[in-house]
Every structure is written in C-alpha cells, then in structure tokens.
Amino acid sequence: MAVDNQKTNHKELLKWIFDMAKMCNPDKIVWIDGSEKQKEQLKKEAIQTGELIELNQEKLPGCVYHRTALNDVARTEHLTFICTDKKEEAGPNNNWMSPEEAYKKASDIFKDSMQGRTMYVIPFSMGPVESEFSKTGIELTDSIYVVLNMLIMAEVGDKVLKFLGNDGRFTQCLHGKAELDINKRLILHFPQDNAIWSVGSGYGGNVLLGKKCLSLRIASYMGRFEGWFAEHMLIIGVEDSSQKTTYIAAAFPSACGKTNLAMLIPPQSLAKKGYKIWTVGDDIAWMRVKEDGSLWAINPETGFFGVLPGTNSKTNYNAMQTIKKNTIYTNVLLKDDKTVWWEDGDGPVPESGTDWTGKPWKPGLKDENGKIINGANPNSRFTAPIKQCPSASPLIDDPEGVPISAIVFGGRRASLAPLVYQSFDWQHGVFTGSIMASEITAAQYGAQGKVRRDPMAMLPFCGYNMAEYFKHWLQTGKNIKNQPKIFHVNWFRTDKQGKFIWPGFSDNLRVLEWIIDRCNEKVGAVETPIGYIPSQADIDLDGLDINSSDIDELLKVNNDEWLGETESIKEFYSQFGDDLPQELNSELEKLVKRLKDS
C-alpha cells in the first residue's frame, strides 16, 4: 500500500503510516485535510452506506444520526490498559499489560481488519496549533463517524501537518473497528512509546483518541515529566458586577452535572448583580505554571461530547441551543420526522419512533421482563462545536489560556460533605482532591449508598501510578507563586426523607459566588476541622425557597461521621503502600486530631 508522500516529508510519520497500513491492509488511504468540502463528501458517503442517517435538515441543519453496536455504548474500562515496562508504573489504579503482549494481542486483531475499507489519516492538535500547551496526534481510523467527530472535537487537517513539519513529535493513535466484537476489543496506551491502539469499538471515549486516551491518560503521563497538569476538569469564567472574570477549574465524577455547571445561566438575583458565566470547557483542563507565577489553563478540545438524557431547556438551556445545528447525535430516539428525542428532553414524548437499537418504539413499551424500554440509550450523546454555545468564552481558542483562581473538587454525598468548604492550603487541597468520593447511585452497578473513591475524578484516566500523581500535585504546587485556592462542593446532600436539600443547577452559582469572593478576599469564613465554610449570611439566598435550618444542615460538619470517613480513607490509601506521599498521611493524621480536639 503506497502512502501519499506529497502531503508531508515527515519520514517517521510516513513510515509509521506505512507499517500500520501493512498490518491493517486497507483498500486505500485518505488524508483528512480539514476542509468543508471533504467533510461534506465523507458525510454523504456515510449516509449512503447507512453508517449515518441524515436528520431533518430544515429543523436540524447540518445534523446527522449514528447508532453504535448494541454492546458498544460506553467506555469499557475493563478492556482499557496502561502498557508500561513495569507493572508498578501503571499502579493499582490501572489495568496493566506488558507492551510486548499488548502489541501482539492487538496486532492479531488488527491484521487485515481494514480489508475492503479505507484508512483515514487524521492530523489533529489538542489545543490551538502553536500554543505552548498543545500536543499533536495523528489518528488512523477506518471509521467516518470517528473522522466527523474528530473534526468537531479538535483542530484537524493540513494546518496541523504543516505545524508538525519534518520532524515534529506526535502521538501515534491507531483505531480500527475490526468486528466491533467485545471479545476482541482492546484500548491500549503505551505512554513510553507515546502511542495508543484501540480496536474493536466504535464508541466515543474508546475511539476519539484525542479525548480521554490522549488528553488525559497519555497527557497526564507527559505532564508528570514536563511539569504540568492534565485534568478531568471543566473550566469556566465567572464575570461579576465589576466585569472582572474569575476562572475556576472543577473536577467531578460522572453524573454530577459537569456539563450543566460549565454552561450555567445565573438565577435572577445573581443575574441582576451582573453575573455571567463563560464556558471554556466541560471535560478536560490542561494547566501549567507560567512566568507570572500563576496557573494557566486551556481546554484542549474544540467540541462537547455530552450526555443527552436529562438535558432539556430547564436543566441546560445553553446545551439545547448549542445542539440545534452541525451536531452528531448518537444512540438517541429517531422520530418519524427525522428529528430526535431522549428521555427527560424537551417537548412531549413522541407517540412513535425508532429506538436507539433500530427497533420501532412507542411510549410504555416493555421488554420480556416487564421493564420499560427507553427510546434513547442512557449514555446517548451529542457532539457539537463549543463555538455554537451561547456562553462560549471569547478566550476558548486563546493560545495563552486563562488564569485559574480556584480549583473545585466535588462529589455526590447524601450526608457528610457540606455544600462547600475551602482547604486550608495547597497541600490540604491535594488531600481534599485525593479523598473525593461519590455514593453509588441507582444508575450504577454495585451496592447503592456504597462510597466509591475517585481522586480528582481521575481514577479511570490517570495514565500512571496515582501515588506518583499525588506527588506530582504536591510538587508542582510548590512552583506556583499565586496558588489557586482549593475548594470542595457537594450539591447532593439529602434530608431525612431522602430529598435533595440544595436546588442545584443554576443556583450553584450562589456557591461559586462565595468561592470567587474568597479568591478575591471579599468575604469571611468559619474554620472547621475539615476546612473553611461560609456562614449563612455569606451565601446569597435571595429568591430561593429554602429555610435557615436547611442551610444549617447543608453546612453542618459532623465530627463523628467524619471520623468514620477517616477510617475509610485510611483503607483507600493502603492500596498505594509505601508509594503514598507522606504529606497525605500527615494531612489525614492532622484531620483526625482536629476532629477529636474540637
């Protein structure tokens, strides 16, 4: 198979493509140039083959629909591996396979798997081309769906190749659908080779290799050696009445409303004060210390890959505006008029349609066990350009990024964690991130109410031993002169009846207001054993139907409950053995002492 060498003189790149094509054996190789014309051609081709369905172009201009295979609707963490020479490098937080075994296993599946197919070459940049933050990747794939998604999610095409030049560094990203067989599926990361091999899947997080694979797993590994952070965080700017914008990066485990927070519309009383939210990103933050001594961040992505069920004009108006055009819809209900719908979306429940599996659907339909059949898969998604979001920050593609004043960690706890607290200092803040946890909800497997720890929301995404990752956080913090203040929030505290006490959604800005006022030294706080909390008077409750005993409950720190929590933290930490930085053990001991003494 000849590789068109008119495109680039990058010898290493050409050789790699040649080698991969030799293994996968495609009928032809096509370079993705990033042009509108090529994009439209590919769309047309995919519509002809049925890989995509064209949606109603009057109501949803530029939108297409895609269904994944039935057993291919989410990331498959048990098939995701970090392949380093030594197992200890990957740590207890990752599945590990030796590079030799991994390359061998995957090669057997890749062999001749692109026969009768085209191999697309996608040059992409995570972050604006030429920004000091950015990283270049080349993804080879046999899926037009992947090409079209990557065109939304990253900077793609000739401009990236040009930037790469004859010898630029790039991450090798190989993806093949093969047979879409879960028994022949592997998502492999080779951080020491700067390479990713993904085979047997067609689902977003497994195949859009610039996203979790490069921007978190590989990038976290790079950041460790290069002195920066690749984090699973949204980035927003909060503009206040003085038109000052304060930037926040926030990490939450899944199902905590990260995308909703990223696009928040202020409640009336705060809008009146002049507040406005600017969306920089909803999923990933790359952060580095600059010469001014501050921590600066970019969102390396140019698109959103968001969950649809539960998204509607009330929960996320800006998302609904964003996805009106040029959007790829995956695994939702297809209505008879070729528009789309999902559970808890806008509008009436359609009387009929075709469900995400391709079967005729109507409301109330049940499976053989009497369980209601959903029209949309619970993990159905939209892919849409950030630029279409009404709250998109004017700085989304600024190569300098934005300066971060606050880092916020969050969890889903029915009790224990108060609505918000501030860490005493950077080291205590790293401790706070390291003990992040959520209670398992009905939507997940496992015992309901059981606590699942997810440090910095990075458990599935940290490309190396998490104990070393904690050390990296502690160490890098020392290089930041203007350290961001670190907070923890919990929107999910419940009352005795199990009802959420805090209204959440747009009212979360009331908590962010306290956070940015803390950063700008405009408001006080009460010291507790776990950190600083606001006093009631410090949170703007204007227009909110909530009484003061509820607020007391939301801000309560129960020492006995927390002492129980410290036991669970000890147990969690024990998996890291001697690798755990002593600073974290010391923070744990200090917490126990404060809880006992107060």
Please report, as ranges, the residues that interact with ligand SAT according to CB under 6 A: 75, 204-205, 211-212, 254, 305
Shortest CB 459 distance to Mn ion, Å: 12
Give the whole-angstrom CA distance, residue 462 versus residue 416. 26
Q: Near Mn ion by CB under 5 A, which window of 130-138, 283-291, 326-334, 570-578?
A: 283-291
Q: Near Mn ion by CB under 5 A, which window of 97-105, 279-287, 485-493, 550-558?
A: 279-287
| Residue linked to tokens 């406005």 | 276
Compute the least distance from the CB of residue 384 to ligand SAT, in Å: 14
User: 218: closest CA among 155, 161, 172, 153?
Assistant: 172
Contact 453, 436 (CB under 8 A): yes
If the CB atoms of residues 75 and 184 are measured against Mn ion, the closer one turns out to be 75
> Which C-beta is closer to ligand SAT: that of 26 or that of 204?
204
Over 504-564, what HEC string results?
CHHHHHHHHHHHHHHHCCCCCCEEECCEEECCHHHCCCCCCCCCHHHHHHHCCCCHHHHHH
Answer yes or no whether residue 51 interacts with Mn ion by CB under 5 A. no
By C-beta, is 283 or 565 nearer to Mn ion? 283
> Angle between the 582-597 and 559-574 helix axes, to the nearest 10 degrees?
160
| CB closest to Mn ion, residue no | 283
283 lines the binding site for Mn ion (CB under 5 A): yes
CA distance 216 to 193: 16
- What is the distance, to the nearest Å, from the Cα of residue 191 to the centroid of all Cα atoms in its chain? 20
Size of the site for Mn ion (CB under 5 A): 1
Q: What angle do CA 47, 62, 214 make, to 5 degrees?
A: 80
Coil vs helix vs strand at 288: strand
Phi, psi of 279 (to 5 degrees): -85, 120
Shortest distance (Å) from residue 214 CB to ligand SAT: 12
| Binding partner of 205, given ligand SAT, Mn ion, none, CB within 5-8 angstroms per partner class | ligand SAT
**Nearest residue (CB) to Mn ion, 239 versus 282:** 282
Q: Which is nearer to Mn ion, 231 or 283 (CB)?
A: 283
Pick 232 or 518: Cβ nearer Mn ion:
232
Q: How far is the CB of 283 from ligand SAT (least distance, A)?
A: 6
**Residue 305 binding: pick among Mn ion, ligand SAT, none (C-beta 5-8 Å cut-off by kind):** ligand SAT
* Contact window for Mn ion (CB under 5 A) among 51-59, 264-272, 277-285, 544-552: 277-285
Q: Closest distance between ligand SAT and the C-beta of residue 381, in Å?
A: 7
Q: Is 24 a catalytic residue?
A: no
Residue number, 168 or 310, with CB nearest to Mn ion: 310
Of 256, 389, 462, 519, catalytic: 256
Three-class HEC string of 105-164: HHHHHHCCCCCCCEEEEEEEEECCCCCCCCEEEEEEECCHHHHHHHHHHCEECHHHHHHH
Write down the least CB distance from residue 458 to Mn ion, Å.
10
Closest CB 376 distance from ligand SAT, rounded Å: 15
Specify the stretch interacting with Mn ion by CB under 5 A; choose among 187-195, 280-288, 424-432, 542-550.
Answer: 280-288
Cβ atoms of residues 557 and 573 within 8 Å: no
Residue 288 binds which of ligand SAT, Mn ion, none (CB < 5-8 A, kind-dependent): none
Report strand pairing: 171-176 vs 328-330: unpaired
CA angle 198-200-201, nearest 5°? 80
* Residues linked to residue 421 through DSSP beta bridges, in sequence order: 488
Select from 3, 307, 303 the least CA-distant residue to 155. 303
Taking CB under 5 A as the rule, does residue 282 contact Mn ion? no
Q: Which does residue 75 touch among Mn ion, ligand SAT, none (CB within 5 to 8 A, set by kind)?
A: ligand SAT
CA–CA separation, 319 vs 125, rounded Å? 24
List the beta strands (DSSP E) in 216-291. Answer: 229-231, 234-239, 245-251, 276-281, 285-289
Nearest residue to ligand SAT, using CB?
205
β strands within 411-538, DSSP E: 420-422, 437-439, 451-453, 485-489, 526-528, 531-533
CB of 229 to ligand SAT, least distance (A): 18
Nearer to ligand SAT, 75 or 335 (CB): 75
Which residues lie near Mn ion (CB under 5 A)? 283
Q: Please list the active-site residues.
A: 256
